[in-house]
Structures are given as C-alpha cells and as structure tokens.
Structure 1
Amino acid sequence: MLEKVRSLPDKPGIYQYFDENGKLLYIGKAKSLKKRVKSYFRFNPFRPADNLSPRIYKMISEAKDLNYIVVENENDALILENSLIKQLKPKYNILLRDDKTYPYIYIDLDEEFPRLEITRKVVKGKNIKYFGPFSSGASAILKTVYEEIPLVQSKSCLRGKKACLYHQIGKCLAPCEGKITSKEYMKYVDKAIKLVHDKEKILEILYKKMEKYAENLQFEEAAEIRDRIKSIESAEIYSHVDLAKLEDLDIFVVEVFGNKAVVIRIFVREGKVVASSHNIINSQTIPEKSEIYTRAILEFYSTQTPFTSSKILVGDDFEEREWLSKVLSEKFNKKITIITPTTNERKSLVKLAKLNAAEVVKNQKENTILLEIKTLFNLQNVPYKIEVFDTSHMQGEATVGAMVVWEDGKFKKSDYRHYHLEGKDEYSQMRELLTRRAQSFEKNPPPELWLIDGGAAQLKIAKEVIDSTGANVDILAISKEKIDAKAHRAKGAAKDKIYFPWKMEEGELKIEKIDLSEKDKRLQFLQMLRDEAHRFAIEFHRKTKRKKDTQIDLLKIKGIGKAKMTKLLNYFGTFENIKKASFNELKSVLNEKDAKAIIEFFQERK
C-alpha cells in the first residue's frame, strides 16, 4: 500500500480503504488525492498518523489496500462519495438512512384563480410561492384551509364551466361561472396564505371544531379532527423565539452520544419555527460531527426539492462547510451560505435543537439482543437494520419472494417488499430474490444484516450476491433441521439451526452451524424475524394464487382449459399480455376457434 500512497495523483477524486480480507473499510473524497491520503500516514516507518481521531486511527490500522477514482472536480467527488457510501455501506463511514423528501404547500400566483396544493418537487413556473417543508401535517393544514376559505377546490372545477356542489355548500365562489373576479378572488388567496403561516390559528380552529363535534356526539368526526391536530402539532419543536428579522433559515444541529448521533432539523420561515424533524444514527464506532453534518446536509438537499431559504444555520463549524456551500449554490443556482450562529436569537434556536437531541436519545431503548447476536456470530457490525427473506410457491405455481425489515426495535412495514419470481427451484428463486434486492442498493442502502430462511446452500447464494456488490452486509440463515428429507415447520417437529459464514479455506466457504436452546432469546429473536417473513411471503403467495386461479376459471367458461391456459402463459408470460394479444398472436399459439373465444371473452368483460 505504501507505493500506492506515494504514487497518488494531485487531482480530485474518491479513495477507498480495504482490510486484509478485501472488505471495504472507508470511502473518502478529496480535492487532492495525493495530499488527503498522505495526511492519514507517517513515513519512516510507514504507520497511521498520530493526530487522527480514535475512529480513523483504528480504520487506518486495519487498512491493507487502497483504491481510488479520479473525477473532474471537487463537486463530482462529493456526489460520487455520497452515492458509493449509500450503495456499499463501508464499515467506518456514516450512513444516514433518512433520505425521504418532505412535502411543501405551494401556489402558482400566475394563475387567474390560483389554489394551494402539495408538492415534493420543484414546480415549473415563474411565480411559485412555497410554504414548508413540513415533516408532517401538510395535508392536515391544507384541508383546514379549504374548509375555512372558499378557494377553488380542485382544478377540474374550473374546467367544468359550471358551479358544482362545493358552491352550493358555500365552499367555493364559483369562478367557473364568473361569479367572482380574479381581483376579488385574490383577497381570499391572501387570507389563505396568512392562515398557512399561522399554525396557532389553525389549531385554534380545529380544537373548536373537535369540541363541537364531541358535544353533538359526532365521535368519528371528532376523532378525525383530533388526528389532524396531532399531525400538525408533531411537525415542529415548539419555540417562543421569534427572530427579529422575518428571515428564512434551515437549521441543522448534530449531537453525538457515545456510538449514537442525532440530527435535528428546524425550519424557520418569516422568523417563526414552522417544522422540525430528526433522525438517529446508530454507528459501529464513535461518529464524528464533521462527517455527519456533511452527510446530513448533502443528503437532505440531494433531490430536486424546493429550496426556499438561502441560509443554513449549523450548530458547529465543520471542515466541509465552505465547500458544501459552493456545491449547493451551484446546484440551486443561487447563493447559499452555511453559517454558525452569532446573534442571541439564532444561538437560542441551536440550544433548543441540542436540548431536543438529548431528549430523543433519552427516549431510545437499547436493544442488547443485537449486541449479543453480533458477538455470538462474529458479525462485522451491530445489526441495527435487518432484512429477512423468504420465498413461497405451490408445486412451482405462483412463485413469490418476500422481504421484511426490522429497524429501531420494530418491524418497518413501509419497507416490506413483494417479488414475483421466475426461478424453477428454491435455490434459483432465492438467488433471483436476493439479486433483485441487491440491485436496488443505490436507491435503498443495504442493512447491516441479511437473514435468510434456508440452510447452508441458501447462505452460500446470499454470500455470492453480496460479494458481487462489494457491500458490507453480514449474513445468517435459519432453517428447520430436516427429518426424512423434509423440513418440518410444525412446532416441536424439528429444531431450528442457524448457519453463518465462518471463513474461506482454499477458496471454499466454510459454514458453521449452531444449535441453540429453544429458550435462548437470541434464537427466539431470529425465529420471530423469520416467521414474519414467512407470514408475509405466504400471504402474498395465496393472494397471487387466488388471482391466477380466478383468471384460469374465467377462461374455462369459454372452453380454455388449464393445459391451454398454461400454454398461453408460457408464451405470453402474464395474464395481462394475453389480454393485450391480437387475434393472430392468439391463433398462432392455440387455434382460430380458441383465439376468437378469448377475444370475445375480453370484449364482453369491457
């Protein structure tokens, strides 16, 4: 590695450190690869530099190889680094999983009769006004505004040229029939904009409505208003700070607590806190604030979302601050500055964010079972996020795969995924399932651990898939011990065995098998994960099978039996393709009579 370090070019790029087994340890970016990488080392003798943080010193001590990629400029290095970290999840890099976009309320003031709408992207137009972002509550706010102010309720209302029910119940002023001029209508638009800015007023309106519904024993309506109130109230950190200037600020504060870090975001619009959000980073080592600030800001503004402020306030100065300001300015085509607080009002907002960060960590429950699993199976990382895989079919029919996700101490159902599979046996099906998941690492970063419903063969397949991506993901497999060549799921029929990769010997992967007591909490935890994946796979399989059986039954009415249906599916691939097929295509697979019957069947259903 010494020769590679000495021969690095004086150009921008990204560098990658690997351990003795070829595992990726760290990805970094550099304005100058030569200067940056050399700063990690001391020469004569060649060793890690003394001024490194404990985390980076440990990483450099483990590093045995180095690769690099040269890019055109510093900005490209920053973007490539961020992309590769998400795909490969190196051991010593910080990975932020919260990359969702936040909704904004917007209005196009160039329209004759404008209306408020929700967007997560930049809307084309010269006179667009945005409100937000909102971590939650955007739709609740908008619904309340439309209940209180008679704006045009939907775009189709204007196209209809005729007053609709909304006008009859006093919710619209019927500009479609010319019952209000554009100038008069804009007075209501101004009222709506003021109301969007005034959350206290919105909440006051909603509390009064909820009380009225409750008094009239309209409990369902009261509950709906209650849910709206909760959604709006949860969107922000409450602050009595009103900035003297009516300015817009995006505020990022990072606090580190041992191996955890909290990123707090606060959004100030026209001098008032309008929304806030946070996410927790579970790191394998003590994380560094500088890297988290860079990652958090770059990640938040990586998508094409509206950028309504021009100042980002941060709780601490950090190394990449000026560079990041330049990157964002170029991206959004306006001057954006990242600054640390100087006035008392701004300092009080940072202090508020830090207090909330401490509160978030205090409410976190430590999951010791994850640490125990890491130790027992000699995993690279504590498995804070686990993806669990299973497949299901019936005699080769309706073959499906399922992935369930465990994160932050619970199943994360929004991340569950179903897959239709083409494989003819359980091994090819598992390979297809895992390959398709691995192909999405760029959009959805990998977890720390894959848990496979299967034995040693499935585990080897998973290892091959992960190795082909270069990602750092540990793998375990869990399966019932086979009795009479069958794996019995029935309780008590057979014990679960857990398989894990132990080491490579002469190019062959050695797999260890552990038999834990049925009362072992680590086994029970993994069984719970496996059983949820199995439930999810079976549920989807049954749904798919029912749909397919229904489709077959429908065609039987016209004399198309199962054999002919199978022939059609083998040729066209899916039922939808059969439906779209022409008469000549159908005739080439079956015959003229059957082709005519199928065409008539679908025409009748139309």
Structure 2
Amino acid sequence: MTETSSDTPLSGHALIASYLRLLDGSPGVYRMLDAQARVLYVGKARNLKRRVANYAKPTGHSPRIARMIRETTEMMFLTTRTETEALLLEQNLIKQLKPRYNVLLRDDKSFPNILVTRSHAFPQIKKHRGAKTAKGNYYGPFASAGAVNRTLNQLQKVFLLRNCTDATFETRSRPCLLYQIKRCSGPCVGLISQEDYAQSVREAERFLSGGSTEIQERLAAQMQEAAEAMEYERAAALRDRIRALTNVQGVQGINPRGVSEADIVALHMEGGQACVQVFFIRAGQNWGNRDFYPRTGSGAEEAEVLEGFLGQFYDEKEPPRQILLSHPIENADLLAEALTEKRGRKVELLVPRRGEKAELIEGAARNAREALARKMSEAATQGKLLTGLAEAFGLDKVPERIEVYDNSHIQGAHAVGAMIVAGREGLLKSQYRKFNIKGEDLAPGDDFGMMKEVLTRRFKRLLKEDPDRESEAWPDLLLIDGGAGQVSAVAEIMADLGVDDVPFIGVAKGIDRDAGKEEFHRPGARPFALRHNDPVLYFVQRLRDEAHRFAIGTHRAKRSKAIGTTPLDDVPGVGATRKRALLAHFGSAKAVTRAGLADLKAVDGISDALAETIYDHFHEKG
C-alpha cells in the first residue's frame, strides 16, 4: 500500500479536483476530512482517479453528497492491490473512525453458539460466546442468549446431556437436581454408560445439524415398543422427550423447507432512520432473529445502507452459504467474493423475487417495519421526557447524553464506581463504564472520596481525548446519587478540573427514604421536589435504579472474583487445572503454602520443577 496526502487552502470540489493529478487508476480507499481534520467519509474505489473525479464535479450530486463535498478541506488515499482488499480496508476504517457520512453499524456484539465439548469422556453441552478456542463442535450462531437458553433447555429434556463443568463433574458423589427432574442422565455417578452417553451426544449433534425428523421417528418407534411391552414408565419418558423436541421446533417459528443455511437480511427505512432485521437459518431451522439500527450516514439511500451494514456485520462473523437480501446492493459481486474468501467456500448474495425465499424476505421486512415503528414511537416518548427534564431542572438545552453515577461497597471493601448513560434512544448499555476504586488513602466507606476518584478519572480522560468537546462523548447532564454533601463535593471536583459548563444534580432519598419523595439538589440552590405523579420523576427514578443495579452487579462480580482467589493464583505455572489438583490433594490453599517439597512432588500433574517453584514461592516470603 502507498499513502499520500496534501495540505491546501482550497475546499470543496476545487480541492478535490486538485488531487486528480496525484492519482492513477489503482484500486484503493479514500478519506475526506473537514477543517478540524475529522474524517467525514471513508470510501473504496475500483479506480481511485475515476471515483475522485466524480466528486470534483460542481453539480449533479445528491444533497447529502453536496454537503459532504462542501465540508471537505483535505483528502487522504491508500492504494491497494485489489478491489476486494479495498473493500475490507474500507469497512475496518469505518468501524475505527466512525465518519459522519458513512453508514455505521452501532450494535456489533458477538452471537452465542451451542458448544458440545470434546475434551472429556462425557461431553458437556453449553452456551458459548466469543473466540472458538475450546475443543468441540460449535452450532450457531443464535440470535440471542435467550434463543440459546430455550434450545438448551429443551435439548436437556430430550438428550439428557450434562451442562456442569468438568470440575463439578469430577467431585460429584451423588446425582444433582437436574437428574432428579429428568434433565440429565447422571454420567457423573455412573448412571449411564459411556457408550450410551456417546449415542445421546451423537443424536443431539444430529438434531443440531438438521436431523430432527429422523430422531423423532426413532423415538416414536421406541415409545411404541415400550408401550407394547407394557413398559409404561419408559414409554412416558420417551413421550416427554418427543414433546420437548417438538417444543424446540415450535418456538423457532419458521422452519423453511428449501433453505438449510442462510441469513435473511431485510431493511426498512423511514424518516431518515433504518432498521435491519436478520434471521439466522441453520440446519433448516430458525435460530432466532435480531434487529439492528445502523446510522444512515446523514441520508444514505437503501442500497448504500444495506451494503454498509453487510460489510461491517460480517467483518468478524462467519458468513453462511447464502445471504438473502431485501434490496439489491451496488457491489454484490465484490462483497460475495470477499465473503467467499473469508469463509473458504462459496457465499451467495441473493435478492429473491418469488418462492419460499421471497416469502422469508417478506416476513423479515415486516418485522423490520414493525420494529422501526416501535423504536420511533419510543424515541418520541423519550424525547418528551428529556424535554420535560430540561424544563424541570432549568437546563439551558435538552440533554442528548445523561450520565448517572453511583458507588457500591461493603464497609469500603471491593469498592466500585459505576456510570450508566441515557439519551434519545434510551439506555445506551454499550457505553456503561465501571471504575475499580484504586485510592489507597481512602477511608472505608468514604463515598465522597470514591466519587471524586470516579469523576476525576472520567473527565481527565475526556479532556485528554477530546479537549475541544467535539464528540458525542461529553455529557449534557450528570445525575449523582446523593444530596447536598455529594453535590458540594462534585462542584469542587469539577472546578478543580476546569469543567464549569456541565450541569449536575444530586438525587437524594426524601422523607423516610421513600421512592416518590426524592429531593433534587443543585449547586447554590435550595432543594426541590417534583410532583408525585410527574413522568419526569419516574424517568429519573428509573435512571437512578439502573445505575444502582449496575453498581451492585459490578460490586458483586468483583467480590465473587476476590472470594475465589487464593495465594496459588500468584504462583507462576499454576493454572486452573493444577490449582484444582493441589487443592484436592492438600484440602486447602493454606495447607499448600505449608507443604514440604517432597509432598508437593507427590501431587499428580505437578512436576519436580514446578514443585520447587511452588515451594520457593511461599518459603521465600517467610
């Protein structure tokens, strides 16, 4: 790759025209920047010179493109060897830089899978999210954790596979509750042979691979045989398994006959907003759907929105054999080539017009239309609440971003600070933040000191990363859990930081600490309350409760992690498996620290060299 840029006082199409002499017909990626060097747009081109020449024309552009050209004061270029490479680079830059005029996928979380492990004689079936590093077979993606949990719940009833960890499995001396309620076959205590359990695993994997009909027929035949042999209890158990298998298919809704593996992607746009609905079809089964609301890049058309969504959506996800689209896109052949290269086998992008595939697209489009209508209705309600909040608290403008802060600890132990964020789209959970309280000089339970540390860290980072306050990361309002004392402390902190234009309000429990009697505190003003039935009061209560929930959850997670730690965690070379072996052998971590070298060498899985490392680690401290 090669990169070029140029400094020039020109702007708009005249500036863009000045770059033409520097360019040739190579494929590549271009960036358009404004006067503050912010990236306005990232685009790819099969022929950079030809594409940039289009922007150099003074007329013939859509209002969106014309506005973007007027704001452009600089361009940057990266040439690539192929157009496919340019496509991949473009999507990476869009996700990294988030340019204003590009379509941007805002929710890009990974999707869960079902994992059947292969590292144990009795494989475990469980939900898995993230990198596929564990040994085993993966089935997915599922649209949500709920879709996975529902499927796992029914699969346990049908195939009786364990979901306990290997460590729990090894320490069981009697069957657990799941065996009692017929969700597990009890392999941990020898209630099923390894051969029979392996057969159940094969059947579960056959179902997840699309063989549900075959399995149901076999179970039905076994049930009939049991009934004829008057083994009524076994026949009833088989009946329950068939019913559970039917329930899995029932909650899946659509189960297409002619589509075995595809993503159904439908777009609906209205009022400058977009919703993309994605259904996951795997093994001939519907494994759930998810709606996405990409930023439309200040007015992009349907084809550009859908193409931008697809490029970013599959950036870190394995594409299926077929992707069924509601609208044609401009570079379908190029995107299909890039996805085929990524997957290692052919990927097709189709826009079906008739038949079952067209019906699937129609259903997904209906879901997208209805989801966008609900979101726009919720946004209108949220807008009214934000306007009411500005009026109730005497703010200069309606807040676009509200940050709510809370702390959680037990007598100062495992202290954490929490920040939640709300805006016109409701709670913005991807922007929540937690702060492990690090101040060693804080007295136990010093809430003022904790708040000072949290706000100092938060705003120092903001001042460092965005001193000109040009991004959307700066809050328009802070809500603090506390009364006059907390507000005074916050006022002092903000003054020290030189941030004097971000309003903040303390939310304190009122008389008898009852909800509905909250008092609101502002610097230099008397406390006030809102009417008991004021929607703004309910809104603030929800924000405060959400901050408290997040803080408590973060604190509990930190406390649980601390409770699970032992001195063995600090010993080099001692991981989870060796830690379990040492604890099983000696009974406690304390006993390990006192053990002699010969005793340590006697533990299964502990080599002589590691035994010496463990011994030296604890005895050097003495």
What is the letter of the counterpart of residue 338 of structure 1? Answer: L
- After superposition, the C-alpha distances for 1:142-161 in whole angstroms (9 at most, x for unaligned) are 13322332334546389749
Give, in whole Å, the separation in 1 of the partners of 2:302 and 2:94.
17
Match of 1:145 in 2: 155
Q: Is the 8 A contact 1:455 1:477 kept in 2?
A: no
Q: State yes or no: 1:451 paired with 2:476.
A: yes
Q: Is the 8 A contact 1:450 1:476 kept in 2?
A: no
Q: State yes or no: 1:57 paired with 2:66.
A: yes
- CA apart distance, 1:354: 1.3
Q: Match for 1:405 among 421, 427, 433? A: 421
Match of 2:23 in 1: 9
- CA apart distance, 1:420: 4.1
Q: Match for 1:261 among 252, 270, 274? A: 274
Superposed counterparts of 1:71-470, under 5 Å? 71=80, 73-107=82-116, 113-121=122-130, 123=132, 128=137, 130-135=139-144, 136-154=146-164, 156=166, 160=170, 164-166=174-176, 169=180, 171-172=184-185, 174=187, 177=190, 179-180=192-193, 182=195, 185-186=198-199, 189-190=202-203, 193-194=206-207, 238-239=253-254, 242-243=256-257, 245=258, 247-281=260-294, 283=296, 285-303=298-316, 305=317, 307=319, 309-364=320-375, 365=377, 366=380, 367-369=382-384, 383=400, 386=401, 388=403, 402-407=418-423, 409-412=425-428, 415-420=431-436, 430=455, 432-434=457-459, 436=461, 447=472, 450-451=475-476, 453=478
What is the letter of the counterpart of residue 450 of structure 1? Answer: P
What is the letter of the counterpart of residue 91 of structure 2? Answer: N
Give, in whole Å, the separation in 2 of the partners of 1:278 and 1:362.
12
Q: Is the 8 A contact 2:121 2:194 kept in 1?
A: no
Structure 2 length as normaliser, TM-score? 0.58
- CA apart distance, 1:302: 2.6
| Gap change, CA 1:95 and 1:35, over 3 Å in 2 | same
SS in 1 for 2:142: coil
Q: Match for 2:53 among 21, 38, 44? A: 38
- CA apart distance, 1:359: 1.0
- After superposition, the C-alpha distances for 1:158-177 in whole angstroms (9 at most, x for unaligned) are 97498741597463263875
Q: Is the 8 A contact 1:452 1:476 kept in 2?
A: no
SS in 2 for 1:137: helix
Name stretches of at least 5 consecutive residues in structure 1 with no aligned partner.
Answer: 203-227, 464-474, 482-489, 498-517, 548-581, 583-601
Give, in whole Å, the separation in 2 of the partners of 1:87 and 1:353.
29
- CA apart distance, 1:301: 2.4
- CA apart distance, 1:29: 2.7
What is the letter of the counterpart of residue 321 of structure 2? Answer: S
Structure 1 length as normaliser, TM-score? 0.60
Residue-pair matches, total: 468
Q: Is the 8 A contact 1:113 1:186 kept in 2?
A: no
Give, in whole Å, the separation in 2 of the partners of 1:180 and 1:535.
49
Match of 2:581 in 1: none
Q: Which has the higher contact order (CA 8 A, sep 6+)?
A: 1
- CA apart distance, 1:289: 2.1
Give, in whole Å, the separation in 1 of the partners of 2:495 and 2:77.
31
- CA apart distance, 1:249: 1.0
Query: Identity rate of aligned residues, in percent?
Result: 22
- CA apart distance, 1:13: 3.5
- CA apart distance, 1:106: 3.4
- CA apart distance, 1:449: 5.4
| Gap change, CA 1:148 and 1:196, over 3 Å in 2 | farther
Q: State yes or no: 1:477 paired with 2:502.
A: yes
Give, in whole Å, the separation in 2 of the partners of 1:542 and 1:155.
25
- CA apart distance, 1:405: 1.3
What is the letter of the counterpart of residue 95 of structure 1? Answer: L
Q: Is the 8 A contact 1:16 1:66 kept in 2?
A: yes
More deviation in 453-462 or 156-165? 453-462
- CA apart distance, 1:450: 2.9
Give, in whole Å, the separation in 2 of the partners of 1:287 and 1:252.
18
Alpha-carbon RMSD: 5.7
- CA apart distance, 1:68: 3.2
- CA apart distance, 1:314: 1.1
Q: Is the 8 A contact 2:175 2:186 kept in 1?
A: no
SS in 1 for 2:300: coil
- After superposition, the C-alpha distances for 1:65-110 in whole angstroms (9 at most, x for unaligned) are 3233445554454344334433443222222211011111133679
| Gap change, CA 1:447 and 1:298, over 3 Å in 2 | farther
Give, in whole Å, the separation in 1 of the partners of 2:524 and 2:209.
56
What is the letter of the counterpart of residue 134 of structure 1? Answer: A
Give, in whole Å, the separation in 1 of the partners of 2:97 and 2:497.
18
Q: Is the 8 A contact 1:17 1:66 kept in 2?
A: yes
Give, in whole Å, the separation in 2 of the partners of 1:108 and 1:287.
45
- CA apart distance, 1:264: 0.6
- CA apart distance, 1:318: 0.7
Match of 1:25 in 2: 40
What is the letter of the counterpart of residue 274 of structure 1? Answer: W
Give, in whole Å, the separation in 2 of the partners of 1:459 and 1:6.
50
| Gap change, CA 1:161 and 1:416, over 3 Å in 2 | closer
SS in 2 for 1:265: strand
- CA apart distance, 1:346: 0.6
Give, in whole Å, the separation in 1 of the partners of 2:200 and 2:536.
65
- CA apart distance, 1:536: 8.7
Q: Is the 8 A contact 2:296 2:305 kept in 1?
A: no
Structure number with higher strand proportion: 1
| Gap change, CA 1:146 and 1:30, over 3 Å in 2 | same
SS in 2 for 1:477: coil
| Gap change, CA 1:12 and 1:168, over 3 Å in 2 | closer
